[in-house]
């Protein structure tokens, strides 16, 4: 038998085996989830009902269904990703602008969905424990695969100041970046961008200008050689006014980055 024929036969066997294993794997996962739910019941962080699947993290499937997750069919500001109620044809979506983000330094930003329900609970849980649920990781991946984020070549998390890092023990943006890197194969650089000023936490009620002033020149690039000519995917948990990611983008572009895109789990 020729090498090509042998290889083709092996591939067919492998494919048939994979098809047989997929239902078996799903059955085993379902059985494992049911056993865990029985022995170690987990109450949903949103509604208190039982969480039946490990992949859903700390939120039940019903609450995930009720949370607004953006899809490729949504009309969004092409730059900052703010949702719009307008109905726009696909070929004109790149022209949609909210104009509130015109002065921001990044090239494009997207969130997986709205800061509510399951996404809100997942973000709050991530601040307590450095774990990304499978569903959350897949939402990041699906969002990253769409334009304009899909052109990114390097993932960089929004950094914490060292004092804040010591308080928490980890950077939630780095945890998200690692989960996305594992799914996409994009490299994760958590060292090049640093926060040089310990800015005050953004309080509820702070307007956009106050937020921008609080983070102005708070970031520097420690290793410009690693980001030069790269298309950066800046990752964080929440995008509010965009002040923090805009300050990061300005520092990255000043150091030679070709473009800077932003990906967050949620936005208002």
119 & 37 share domain: no
Question: Is-contact 175 131, C-beta < 8 A?
Answer: yes
67-81, 96-110, 136-150, 193-207: least confidently modelled range: 193-207
Tens digits of per-residue pLDDT, 197-218? 876 654 445 556 666 666 878 8
Task: Give yes or no for a contact between 251 and 219, defined as CB atoms under 8 angstroms apart.
Answer: yes
pLDDT over 50 at 32, yes or no: no
Does 88 share its domain with 47?
no
Structural domains of the chain, count? 2
- Look at residues 38, 62, 86 and tell me which one is the last residue of a structural domain: 62
For residue 64, what pLDDT band results from cuts at 50, 70 and 90? very high
**Are 223 and 198 members of one domain?**
yes
Of 62, 85, 109, the position where a domain reaches its end is 62
| Domain CATH for 95 | 3.40.50.2020
- Residue range 208-267, pLDDT digits in tens: 666 666 687 889 999 999 999 999 999 999 999 999 999 999 999 999 999 999 999 999
Residue 17 class from Cβ within 10 Å (0-12 exposed, 13-18 middle, 19+ buried)?
Answer: exposed
Do 137 and 229 lie in one domain? The reply is yes
- pLDDT surpassing 70 at residue 53: yes
- Distance in angstroms (rounded) separating the CA atoms of residues 123 and 139: 13
Q: 16 with 126, same domain?
A: no
- Report the sign of the C-alpha dihedral through residues 188, 258, 88, 207, in that order: positive
Both 263 and 145 in a single domain?
A: yes
Let me know whether 56 and 126 are in one domain: no
Same domain for 114 and 174, yes or no, is yes
State residue 22's pLDDT score: 52
Interior CA angle at 186 toward 259 and 139, to 5°?
90
Give yes or no: residues 19 and 83 share one domain.
no
Instruction: Tell me: do 162 and 231 sit in the same domain.
Output: yes
The H-assigned helical ranges of 162-205 are 162-168, 172-184
Instruction: Give the domain-ending residue among 12, 42, 62.
Output: 62
**How far apart, in whole angstroms, are the C-alpha atoms of residue 139 and residue 136?**
5
Whether residue 179 is found in the same domain as residue 263: yes
Mean of pLDDT values over 74-85: 94
What is the average pLDDT value for the chain, to the nearest integer? 85
**Predicted pLDDT of residue 226:** 95
Q: Which domain holds residue 25?
A: 3-62
Q: How many CB atoms lie under 10 A from the CB of residue 133?
A: 22
One domain, residues 15 and 102: no
161: helix, coil or strand? Answer: coil
């Amino acid at each position: 038998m020729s090498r090509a024929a042998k290889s083709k036969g092996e591939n067919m066997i492998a494919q048939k085996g994979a098809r047989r294993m997929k239902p078996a794997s799903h059955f085993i996962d379902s059985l494992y989830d049911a056993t865990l739910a029985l022995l170690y019941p987990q109450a949903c962080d949103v509604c208190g009902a039982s969480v039946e699947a490990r992949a859903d993290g700390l939120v039940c499937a019903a609450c995930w269904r009720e949370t607004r997750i953006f899809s490729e069919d949504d009309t969004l500001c092409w730059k900052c990703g703010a949702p719009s109620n307008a109905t726009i044809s696909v070929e004109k979506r790149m022209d949609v602008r909210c104009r509130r983000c015109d002065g921001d330094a990044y090239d494009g930003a997207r969130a997986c969905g709205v800061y509510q329900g399951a996404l809100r609970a997942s973000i709050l849980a991530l601040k307590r424990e450095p774990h990304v649920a499978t569903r959350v990781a897949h939402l990041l991946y699906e969002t990253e695969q769409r334009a304009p984020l899909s052109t990114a070549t390097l993932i960089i998390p929004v950094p914490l100041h060292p004092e804040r890092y010591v308080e928490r023990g980890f950077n939630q943006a780095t945890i998200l970046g690692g989960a996305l890197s594992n799914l996409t194969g994009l490299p994760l650089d958590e060292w090049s961008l640093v926060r040089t000023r310990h800015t005050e936490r953004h309080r509820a009620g702070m307007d956009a200008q106050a937020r921008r002033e609080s983070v102005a020149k708070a970031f520097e690039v420690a290793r410009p050689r690693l980001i030069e000519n790269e298309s950066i995917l800046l990752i964080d948990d929440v995008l509010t006014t965009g002040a923090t990611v805009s300050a990061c983008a300005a520092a990255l572009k000043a150091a030679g980055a070709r473009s800077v895109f932003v990906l967050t789990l949620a936005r208002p």
